Amino acid sequence: MSANLAVSEASTQAPAAVALVPAGLAAPAADAGAVQQYVTFTIGAEEYGVDIMAVREIKAWTATTALPNSPDYVRGVVNLRGHIIPIYDLRCRFDQGLTEPTPTHVILIVTIADRVVGILADTVSDILSIRTEDIRPVPMMDRNVDAEFLSGLVSVQDRMVALLTLDRLFNTKLTPTS
């Protein structure tokens, strides 16, 4: 596991999920392609992945403080050891309705450029090691709304994982929060 990935002790869902590292998916050292690791998580029936180097922490769901005039997909903010962190609801961001969080939901604390934000997810699935050549491009579709946030797709065993490009998903031109 990456040195900059911490698991909050308060989380009951994340530690068990983070411990699942499928050894058979790691590329042998002799393979020509570079290998990247992704933390995967679910939103409904869909599975998404983000670069493990962007993930700072995984913590259990805690209530947020709503901010006035925020987009629907901004759940609010939380105080994380003295830092105010905005929490984003990706289900809502992808036009699938608001998430009704429960104690089993998790927040992935991620770094995007100079910002730190939280992503509300249903569960954390895995940490996957993926060879660069195994990442497939997102197919061209009539409606290209969500595809702009995706860097690629990867097939893992019997499931498809959509890899997110966080800097395209969130407006990185905003003033960093501290």
- Render pLDDT for 166-175 as a digit per residue (tens, 0 to 9): 988 876 554 4
Prediction pTM value: 0.76
- Classify 48 in phi/psi space as left (phi over 0), alpha (psi -120 to 50) or beta: beta
Quote the pLDDT of residue 15. Answer: 35
Q: In this structure, what are the phi and psi dihedrals at residue 131, rounded to the nearest 5 degrees?
A: -70, 140
Quote the pLDDT of residue 8. Answer: 42
100-143 pLDDT tens trace: 999 999 999 999 988 999 999 999 999 999 999 999 998 877 65
Domains and CATH numbers, the chain: 6-169 (2.40.50.180)
Rounded Cα–Cα distance for residues 81 and 70 (Å): 23
